[in-house]
Amino acid sequence: MFSRYFMLFVFLLIAAKAMADSRVQLSSENKRPVFIELYTSQGCSSCPPAERWLNNFVDDNELWEKYIPIAFHVDYWDYLGWQDPYASADNSSRQRKYHRQGRISLVYTPGILVNGEEWRGRSTLTAMHSNATVLKASIDNKVVAINYSANQLMQAHVVILGFDIETEVTRGENSNKVLSGNFVSLAHLSDVSNNGQWSIKLPELKQKAQRYGIAVWVNPLGSQKPVQAVGGWLPVDI
């Protein structure tokens, strides 16, 4: 009898551990990571070098803790002959909103923002690692629970990132090239809260990748400038 109860206890313990291991727990430091946004297009001939630069962060030892990169593919170059499969009107709209808010001088590709400000490589990324409130996110059963201490209306964002993506371009300015992509935004969701807590369900992905990551960030409502961000790897079976 004892051995039967003991085996049941061991089984429940293993099941509980497996369930806990399936959850993803993310927490920023009390510093704001360097939040990098690349606005790019597979139809833009000057974009591949910028994408290669961003791709290299995947091997950085301080990825997620210090650097959180995202590649937002825009759709306003699709008319040139190649329809970027990762482009969206929402990404283009996000970049144009930065322009309306005075954060960037022009809407162009490749365009880079660091911590919500236009960046042309004249300042070091390391210097932009600054103090901030801790942001926490946990993922369980495809629902992202976000917690951030705030006393105002805040907007939380969740982006699923695709890695090891290769696209054979057959038309347009990058015709006959195979383009490689990391940190590609595959889905972008957001919600507003006045108590610093959010619950956002992950969507079914239209585009697949070899590996996945997630970026979570918050900004005051009405401004796209991120005040804190966190990121990490996701299991393949999201």
Strand partners, 167: 179
Nearest Cα to Cα of residue 226 among 73, 82, 110, 114: 114
Listed range (21-30, 54-63, 197-206, 211-220) with the worst mean pLDDT: 21-30
pLDDT tens string 135-183: 999 999 999 999 999 889 999 999 999 999 999 999 999 999 999 999 9
> Which residue type sits at 170?
T
**What's the first-to-final CA gap in the chain, in angstroms?**
41
H or E segment at 192?
Answer: strand 184-193
- Residue 3: pLDDT band by 50, 70, 90 thresholds? low
Nearest Cα to Cα of residue 232 among 114, 138, 91: 138
Pairing status of strand 228-234 against strand 34-40: unpaired
- Tell me how far apart the alpha carbons of residues 188 and 196 are, in angstroms, rounded to a whole number: 19
Backbone phi, psi, residue 94, to 5°: -65, -45
- Residue 10: pLDDT band by 50, 70, 90 thresholds? very low
Does pLDDT of 90 surpass 90?
yes
CB 229 within 8 A of CB 130: no
CB 181 within 8 A of CB 71: yes
Does pLDDT of 111 surpass 50?
yes
* Greater model confidence, 11 or 64: 64
- Tell me how far apart the alpha carbons of residues 142 and 138 are, in angstroms, rounded to a whole number: 10
**Average pLDDT over every residue of 73-102:** 97
